[in-house]
Structure 1
Amino acid sequence: MPTYVYGITGADHPLHLEEVFGVGETPAPLRTVRTGDLTAVVSDAPEGLRAKRRDVQAHQRVLEVLMGDGATLPMRFGLLAPDDEQVASALDAEGDRYRARLGELDGHVEYHLKVSRDEDDLLREIVAESDQVRELRERTRDQPGAHDERVALGELISHEVGARGSAEAEDLSQRLSPAATRLSAGEPSSTHFLNVSFLVPEDGVEDFVQAVERESDQRGDAYTFTLTGPLPPYSFV
């Protein structure tokens, strides 16, 4: 039976898992795989495992308990190994890297920030600041059949939206980075120009959250800040 892996800790990490169970319709008992100074918390993997709410919550609960007692490398939901022996081999092969990462994550949590901007507000700014956009708008308004001008206008606005979003994302990341140890930038989307995770010291969480709130207040109602955390530091494993 495959082995389901929840997380990796140091061998001296407290394991208060007596009342915690793993994934599966019948919750799986947890066990450990130890090699040297590293421990992997694992269980049997149920057949046909899917990201059901019950199992995702069980995975998260195991990590919450582990992280409550110290640095843990959280594995993403659904990570399987062929058996315990393969888990032990991975701990041996990657031991130096795992130990270094545990040292980096010790005393830290992750916060994930997404920021969007009202589209109409952004378009008003582009029109107000771009002579070329205003000129093309006038042409397409006065000449309904000006197909090439409409295409050019659409391309120009799209370019401006992307460029301004990138610039704002860079500015926000730089402003918030002093309150975090590291950051991991994700890809922007059609709705969010900023998508970034921050590795934050546990004793600096209040300062970080306040820094995010200040940035949100300064930008006003046209911006929507969505801050999620504290989370297991998946983005930094």
Structure 2
Amino acid sequence: MSVYVYAISKAAHPLDLEGLQGVGEAPTELTTVQGGELSAVVSRTPEDLAVRRRDLEAHHEVQEHLWADGTILPLSFGFVAEDEAAVRALLEERAETFSQRLDELTGRAEFNVKGLQDENMLLRALLEESERVRELNEATRGGGGTYEDRVALGELVAQEVQNRQGALAGEVLAALRPLVLAEKVAPPSQQYFLSASFLVEDERTEEFADVGGELAESLGEGVELRLRGPLPPYSFV
């Protein structure tokens, strides 16, 4: 019978599972598997396992509950092993690696930071501040202008957006980097000009949250900075 694996911890972790529900429409009981000095929290793999909001939330709820009581290695959603024996074998075979990483993550937490910018406000700012953008916009209004004008406008706007959002991301990163031990920064996307995860020492989590809050207020109208944490170190396992 295959098992769904949520997290790995040292055997000394209290692993309080009372009241927790795992993944699946009808979640089964959470149990532990021990291998040497390590333990894993598992449940029976549901037949209907899928990337659904309910299952994702259950997965993270289990991990965050465990993390509140001690260091864990939170596994990615969908980690399934053939059976408990396979989990036990994995814990024993990779005991040194898992133990070392648990030690490295003790006393540390993750913060997720996402930056968004209101597109309409940004385009209005470009029109107000860039004479060339205004000229090309007027020339192509209502379908007018040449093909080259339309291409030039699109390229200019895209470049200006990239430059401005890159500057915003750089400002945020410059302010937060002195407070962190490690970072993982994703490439900018259409939705977020910044999407990053930071590993922060426990004694600096409050300072990190305060600095992030101050940044969120200082970045100006139409810019939103979302901070989530402290969290289990999902991105640094």
TM-score for the superposition, normalised by structure 1:
0.85
Quote the offset at 1:120 in angstroms.
Answer: 4.0
* C-alpha distance after superposition, 1:167-197 (max 9, x if no partner): 3213311211222222221232213211112
Quote the offset at 1:69 in angstroms.
Answer: 1.5
1:95 equivalent in structure 2 = 95
List runs of 5+ in structure 1 lacking aligned partners.
none
RMSD of the TM alignment (CA)? Answer: 2.7
> Is the CA contact (8 Å cut-off) linking 1:7 and 1:41 kept in structure 2?
yes
Instruction: Kindly tell me the number of residue pairs found equivalent between the two proteins.
Output: 237
1:41 equivalent in structure 2 = 41
What SS class does the counterpart of residue 200 from structure 1 fall into? Answer: strand
List runs of 5+ in structure 2 lacking aligned partners.
none
Identity of aligned residues (%): 44
* C-alpha distance after superposition, 1:111-170 (max 9, x if no partner): 2121112334433554566565455446546x9332211211211211221233223213
What SS class does the counterpart of residue 227 from structure 1 fall into? Answer: strand
Moved more, 119-128 or 148-157: 119-128
> Is the CA contact (8 Å cut-off) linking 1:179 and 1:211 kept in structure 2?
no
Q: 1:169 and 1:148 mapped to 2: Cα distance?
A: 31
* C-alpha distance after superposition, 1:21-48 (max 9, x if no partner): 4334443222222222221111211212
> Is the CA contact (8 Å cut-off) linking 1:2 and 1:45 kept in structure 2?
yes
1:213 equivalent in structure 2 = 213
Q: 1:5 and 1:90 mapped to 2: Cα distance?
A: 12
Q: 2:55 and 2:24 mapped to 1: Cα distance?
A: 6
The question of 1:108 aligning with 2:100 is answered no
For 1:33, the aligned partner's letter is: V
What SS class does the counterpart of residue 86 from structure 1 fall into? Answer: helix
Quote the offset at 1:223 in angstroms.
Answer: 0.9
> Is the CA contact (8 Å cut-off) linking 2:25 and 2:48 kept in structure 1?
no
> Is the CA contact (8 Å cut-off) linking 1:34 and 1:88 kept in structure 2?
yes
Change in Cα spacing, 1:127 to 1:3, as seen in structure 2 (3 Å) is same
* C-alpha distance after superposition, 1:80-130 (max 9, x if no partner): 111122223333443333223212321222221211123344335545665
